[in-house]
Chains A and B, each alone.
Chain A
Amino acid sequence: MIRQSWWKILSVVMLVYTAIAGFLGEVPAKPILNETIRNLYFHVAMWFSMMVLFTVSVYYSIKYLRTNNHVYDIYALEYAKGGIAFGTLGFLTGMIWARWTWGAFWSSDPKQLGAAIALLIYFAYLVLRNSMTDMDKRARIGAVYNIFAFAMLMPTIWIIPRLVESLHPGGMGNPALDTHDIDSRMRLVFWPGAVPGWTLLGVWITTLRIRLQLLAEKRMAQ
């Protein structure tokens, strides 16, 4: 499935659709938000993509611990790196958005804190891996930390924003978006276009990197 091209073409089509409909389509006129509501197609969708990539990374970490197959470790690492890339993009787009709606790039909002924590945790994962030279040990301890960190991160991201006040759309409830803010025209871009489009792009980038790593391993073995 990885080498098939239909889903890569689909991803490009979806992202072109997202870009065109996202910038030219009609959006509801909301006070304060105004045209920045279009950031939903980029910022929020990138967070979705990051969550998917991190989840897949943990899935492969569990698989590694069960089978001790080195290939799964490469999968877990590259999916985590893909997630970090999309997390950073989501972070930056969120900060640009915050500048024009809240008035500052950084205002220590719980959502921003949660995002920063998530990135710090995954940077720590990379540091931990690089601190070991033995390949088996690196893979095993990395997998253990990946699972532990993911399990600790989920309550942070999904529960704490519900407990403290936030300026972020969705406010006290849903951590990602307020369903009252968007209408059916936006949903038609967001769900069929932006979310699967960015996620597929993330998976595509990651699978390319995985194939590169596997090739490098093969050359090392020769």
Chain B
Amino acid sequence: MWPKINLIGSTRHILTLFKKDLLLEIRQQYTFYGVLLYVASTIFVLYMSMGEPEGAVWKGLFWMMQLFICVNAVAKSFLQEGRGRLLYFYTIAGPRDFILSKLLFNALLMLLMSLVSMALFVLMLGNPMPNPLAFVMISCLGGISLSLVFTFLAAIAARAQQSAALMAILGFPLVIPQLLLLGKISTIAFETVLQGGLMEMNLLLGGLDVLIVALALILFPFLWKD
């Protein structure tokens, strides 16, 4: 049940799989630019309908945007792999290496997307924050947290041979606690006077991320086998 963990070997596997995803992305130039266009046009639509909203609305819109960006960016990661190719990966690398490489790649993708959408938000919807630098950090943390949950859900949806729609149904209730936490933590950037307990929430969010990675490592091998 528990295979002996070969640290060097699996690190190499993870890096190779990660590099393969990166290379595919650079060659095809589909996900990144596709999602980029999605981000830009959605923010433009928001700008057309909202103008420059005040802080609370800005924050709410930003996290809702992140949620939809995440679904779109991550959905492809498993759906693009055909049945035969998955079988091939299964023979050359373990399921744990595979899911870790996907988690890594999607976290990086969402990190980039968070930064881009943050920049576009400030450009178009204005900057209501007294402390924007803190919000850069928070949006990176948020992007990574969301990407972890949705990567695992994308794996489930792909195994069920379903579209991204199922992913959203499965994922939205699950990420509400994370979004609530992120909304609370965001006040660091929006207020000059802070209430207590925000550091604890940061830790809680980090703890949730660790929990998700651990669950993915334990559960993905069961998902994988046919």
Contact = CB atoms under 8 A, between A and B. Distances in A.
Given A128-B166, A141-B160, A147-B219, A160 B180 contact: yes
A220 interface: no
Nearest to B171: A124
A144 B219 contact: yes
B201 A163 contact: yes
A151 B204 CA distance: 14
Contacts of B172: 120
Contacts of B176: 113, 117, 156
Given A124-B169, A152-B174, A132 B215 contact: no
A65 B169 CA distance: 24
Given A144-B223, A147-B215, A151-B211, A121 B204 contact: no
Counting contact residues on chain B (CB < 8 A from A), the size range is 20 to 34
A179 interface: no
A212 to B, nearest CB: 26
Contacts of B162: 131
Nearest to A149: B174
Interface of A: 65, 113, 117, 120-121, 124, 127-128, 131-132, 137, 140-141, 143-145, 147-149, 151-152, 155-156, 159-160, 163-164
Given A149-B174, A151-B211, A160-B180, 10 more contacts: A117-B173, A124-B170, A127-B166, A141-B159, A144-B156, A148-B215, A151-B215, A152-B174, A160-B177, A163-B204
Interface of B: 149, 152, 156, 159-162, 166, 169-170, 172-174, 176-177, 180-181, 184, 197, 200-201, 204, 207-208, 211-212, 215, 219, 222-223
